[in-house]
Structure 1
């Protein structure tokens, strides 16, 4: 559909999310950058236009911030990909596959507040950079032993999430790597799998608890310990 065939994004009879989608298509264009100021200037009477814009992500729209695209600054966003045309009748229904806030919290806890691809923790600096890691929930394609592909949720940092969108986790390959382990190591790993967890020492538990804290709390604890 061309921009001339689209409904008018300024039509107040449309919902705000639909108008925001139409504004992106008609005024910004896929691949282009816009600023928060431009968005708010376009919708001066909408108090939560940023939230309505974020709602589009539940419908397959990709809108990057500087967490996903490090070339952007804090005030910029990139309209990366158009999703479901939510302005069409019956198309604005929220996807049942969208990730809820509760699911996100539960997964972050299960994953130990660590990126499962590179191991970096939330708010840690990347090596050789002042950029801090932001953790998000990503959908990972997983190749099962029977050849089927499932979609699994995983915690990833912004760098790994952007760089690993086309990656597929290969279960068969992991099984083969396990088979190549020494028997003693396989036995230990099998025990962890059977229990569904690994027993950590007290110092490991404290380290995990410490690195999951906000920066101010970490500074307070490390300062108290040093003194």
Structure 2
């Protein structure tokens, strides 16, 4: 099917915005809010219609996902559903209100549920501070259906986790097979909201991150201590 022109006034603003990104901006390229205003002069909330494309699988990054972008810049990363085709782009919008955003952040403890980093903390080995926002996560239920739920994630994990589907049904099935001791231990961690790692567990995590030459030295050192 041939794509219509993004300048066709008979199309809705969101459809025209999608076509403008494909035909004018191009995947991988950067655009600004001013570019949107110039492309759609006199059109109310044109920038919002661009954001609405994310609800249809379009990846449009801001500086929250891509630290190389300026405050007013966005990057058109990947096209999603061709919203200009008949029957497409009709899904109701799922914009997250500021009130709902605050509720989810408070519920999740104001830190990234994927990696545990808090807002403003610096990522290891970088000068980049984490920003926490709300991500939509697909969750597979016990009956096989998939729903979309909201979770707090940092800018890195939101980008890396796109397309991830959490398997709640599998987790619940595994929960039924746990021993009484394991269930008690897990419930304790859940009630506290964290778990304490033993010295051996934290040592193991640090050891695994070493290059093989250094791992060999650690193994030899432990053997000498054990003898």
Report TM bin, short chain: 0.5 to 0.7
Give 3-state SS (helix, strand or coil) of 1:27's partner.
Answer: helix
2:103 equivalent to 1:106: yes
Q: Distance in 2 between matches of 1:136 and 1:49?
A: 23
1:72-83 equivalent positions in 2, closer than 5 A = 72-83=69-80
Q: Distance in 2 between matches of 1:42 and 1:163?
A: 31
Report the equivalent of 2:39.
42
Q: Distance in 2 between matches of 1:86 and 1:143?
A: 25
CA RMSD of aligned residues (A): 3.5
Contact 2:32/2:74 (8 A) holds in 1: yes
1:194-213 equivalent positions in 2, closer than 5 A = 197-198=191-192
TM-score, normalised on structure 1? 0.64
2:154 to 157, 174, 177: 157
- Consecutive unaligned residues of structure 1, counting only runs of 5 or more, are 201-227
- Consecutive unaligned residues of structure 2, counting only runs of 5 or more, are 195-227
2:81 equivalent to 1:84: yes
Q: Distance in 2 between matches of 1:47 and 1:143?
A: 37
Structure 2 CA distance for partners of 1:192 and 1:117, relative to 1, 3 Å: closer
Structure 2 CA distance for partners of 1:199 and 1:54, relative to 1, 3 Å: closer
Structure 2 CA distance for partners of 1:37 and 1:104, relative to 1, 3 Å: same
1:188-227 equivalent positions in 2, closer than 5 A = 188-191=185-188, 193=190, 197-198=191-192
Q: Distance in 1 between matches of 2:164 and 2:96?
A: 24
Contact 1:32/1:80 (8 A) holds in 2: yes
Q: Distance in 1 between matches of 2:163 and 2:81?
A: 21
Structure 2 CA distance for partners of 1:187 and 1:61, relative to 1, 3 Å: same
Report the equivalent of 2:129.
132
Q: CA deviation at 1:37?
A: 2.5
In the alignment of these two chains, the number of paired residues is 189
2:119 to 111, 119, 122: 122
Report the equivalent of 1:219.
none
Structure of higher CA gyration radius: 2
